Chains A and B, each alone.
Chain A
Amino acid sequence: MKGKTVLFLAITWGLLFALVEAGSWMVLKFSISRHPSDNPLVNEYVARGAPLFTDNDDLRVRSQGFAFHPYLGYRQAPGYTTLRPHREYTGHVEVDAAGFVHTGDRERNPTALAKPKGQSYRVVFLGGSTMFGLGASSNQTTIPADFERLLRQTWPGVDFLVLNAGAQGYVSTQERIAYELYLDAVDPDLVVAMDGVNDAMVAGDLATWKPHFNAVNILDEAAFVRLHQPSVNFADTMRDLVQFPEPLASLALLRRILSHLPAAAGPHDLTATYHPEAVTQLRDNLDALARQLGSERRLGLFVLQPYLGYAKGGVTDEERAIIAGYGDRIDVYNRHFADFTALYDDLGRQFAGQGSQFVDMRSLFATADRFIYHSLAHYNDGGDDVLAQAMLDRIKPALTADLKAKGLVQ
């Protein structure tokens, strides 16, 4: 009798489990057929069939968006599209096979970089998420893409190659290392580096100063040590199970429920701290970059970026809400930025006549009454366009002279 009960329970549970498996998959299929995803990984996941019969580990890996890098902490994963919903639109920004955010044609950079430079004029853009295009609607509306369009309009006969090496969360240390170790080898003629917000914010979020710290590094010492521990971590296993792409719709639902539970305090809930070391570190990084550019006779444009909270005319309600979300922390960022402004003035004088220009563009949107900011330093398409134009205006005399000296224009 006892054996029959056990058998009945086993069969019941088995059937129930099979029903959940099949049912959740059907719900997911039906949902995707009604509302197709704009994420190519989701479409591929659904097209492959039920995860019971398909190994989707490659999709799981591709869904990370960032790849570990031993000298930069991390880099943007090639071939990955970042989706970012905004009030105006959902942004789609894709990284090409060469690891750059392309300017509209994903084949162009890998193809051009595989060939000798020849008579082309190469421009490399360095920066964090703003340069990457996290506020843009598409690759074509990022700052480097706008800059490229303006270059082609101004000098239609020149073969420009614009490489957007912006990476989400990068501080100036990472931009410097990326250039020193990898990007210098692409032999750019002009390097545009836009900095400020990440160095100011990341430093501000530190209670105690840590040199070259980056809050969003995908791996830190604690994580590294954890990886050497043999014990199976139940929490991590559960987290991995419900991470995209979800093996089951029921797990997707579980993830949604989990995401509504109160989380630990995020960096924006914390108190900010002013660190005078932040400006010294930024100086070291920019100084090293400018010296390298000067020694190789390349042009440099170093831009202190605009951010919400400083000189924005006609702040909209949405923008006001963003500022309010940072509370008193914005005052600490402003203190860091005040240091950075003095630094840019100083470096501008130091490198005058050596090919590198340092310009403070914090006031660029001072007269803009319309909506510009999706976040503290992510501009919408209109903002990106204005910034690209301002960059070109600033570098145009030096660029014209350089193009002439290289025989690319008359």
Chain B
Amino acid sequence: MTAWRMLAGILVLACGVEAGSWLALKVWFMVSPSDNPSVVEYMHRGHPLLTNNEDLRATGLGVLFDPYVGFRLLPSHAEPRINPQFRSVIETDSAGFVHNGDRDVNPRLLADPTAKIYRILVLGSSAVYGSAATTNAATIPARLEARMKTRWPQVPIHVINAAVPAYISTQERLLYELYLRRIKPDAVIEVTGNVDAQHNALIQTWTPHWQDGFVFTEERYLDSFRPAASARHFLAGLVEFPEPLYSLAVLHRLMARFAGGPAIAGPQRAYFYHPEAAVQFSDNMEGLARVLIADGTLGLFALQPHLGGKHAELGEFERDVLAHDRGWAEATQRHQSDFEAVFRALAVRHAKDRLAFIDFSDAFDGVPGQTFENLSHTTDDGNDLLAQRLLERFGPILEADLAAKGWLK
């Protein structure tokens, strides 16, 4: 009889926890609503006991698997980000691009291949995507589009942000060759360098085209063949966002405090220099250049600035970031120096082609105030300034192309 009572008590307690945590979650979101659409949808659907939220769990990753580039951005997804200085939400449109402020523009303009517009595609990684921008309208491509429209008001300019966080130059090249080429842009601006320099500094033994942000690896693939159910993975899956229960969210936070839990890795102790990184970087730039030349597309290659590079004046926050990641910054800088040499060589080699290779690592020299949020993500101010620099240095080439195509009569 005592056992039955205990069992009943446990059941009542479990029900209380279930109902209580859900109620607490509901009240919490009523008090401070989330700006994450997945969370909003999750709350709207009702109690997770009665709802299958697996699709939301998958979209929570924000990326789609792709067999040729590893991963691509999930269309119509909003990625919220909270850092010590600001909150931001960057949204992809239904075409899978980070829009410049209006989520309908890219799908509408891309649906009409006969539209008379001057189309510019911007390739890059997280800095171009807008990882440190507060809104879509504050990303580098958005600021560039705004500045171009001011400079050439008579030209219907359409700038597409095709950047994907963590992409290395191999992925940028393949994304363009396999998928984006058919958009037939008039010009391609490739803003690159930092991820290649940083990721290669993390690997002890050189691995061609390796990248740290792959959502899927050979190891995980092989794991999928193992029939054993892993309690650890099962538990980790339960408490991943969106949390089925508020209590599990608390558990997630507790687990994150333990070593080996789902905590974000801190700075690595050792960093490495690989001379092969520059060869690979050069091959990728050449590969992209070859396609642009074949299509008669204007190619503008920008070696992006990074914190710890040229001797720009640093703000207090930037000095702290640099001090925290000094080893990584130094290893990155060695690769970046090689990339600068690659850009100089490519500029000479392609002097007669409709291509420009310009080093922007000095873009923030002499600029007071903060332009970086971490080693390579630029803030809203940094984005606007970089867009200004891009237009200053690529402007004459773009103007010549616009004139040649009859837009500047």
Contact = CB atoms under 8 A, between A and B. Distances in A.
Real binding pair: yes
Interface of A: 57, 60-61, 64, 67-73, 173, 177, 180-182, 184-185, 211-212, 214, 217-221, 223-225, 227-230, 232, 236-237, 240-241, 243, 284, 287-288, 291-292, 295
Given A61-B225, A68-B217, A71-B174, A214 B67 contact: yes
Interface in B197-244: 208-209, 211, 214-218, 220-222, 224-227, 229, 233-238
Nearest to A239: B227
A60 B170 contact: no
A222 B291 CA distance: 32
B227 A240 contact: yes
Contacts of B291: 288
Q: Which 5 A-B pairs have the closest CB atoms?
A: A230-B237, A68-B221, A240-B227, A73-B67, A224-B65
B208 A67 contact: no
Given A72-B68, A220-B67, A230 B236 contact: yes
B226 A240 contact: yes
Contact of A68 (B177, B179, B216, B235): B216
B178 interface: yes
Contacts, number: 103
A221 B291 CA distance: 28
B254 interface: no
Given A218-B221, A284-B181, A228 B58 contact: yes
Contacts of A287: 294
Contacts of B227: 236-237, 240-241
B70 interface: yes
Interface centre among B178, B234, B235 (most CB of A within 10 A): B178
B291 to A, nearest CB: 7
B340 interface: no
Nearest to B286: A295
B69 interface: yes
Contacts of B178: 173, 211-212
A183 to B, nearest CB: 11
Contacts of A177: 68, 174
B222 A181 contact: no
B77 interface: no
A291 B177 CA distance: 13
A221 B71 CA distance: 10
Given A70-B70, A219-B221, A232 B287 contact: no
B224 to A, nearest CB: 6
A223 B225 CA distance: 12
Contacts of A223: 224
A60 B225 contact: yes
Nearest to B66: A221
Given A220-B65, A295-B290, A70 B216 contact: yes
A221 B64 contact: yes
Nearest to A292: B290
Contacts of A64: 222, 225
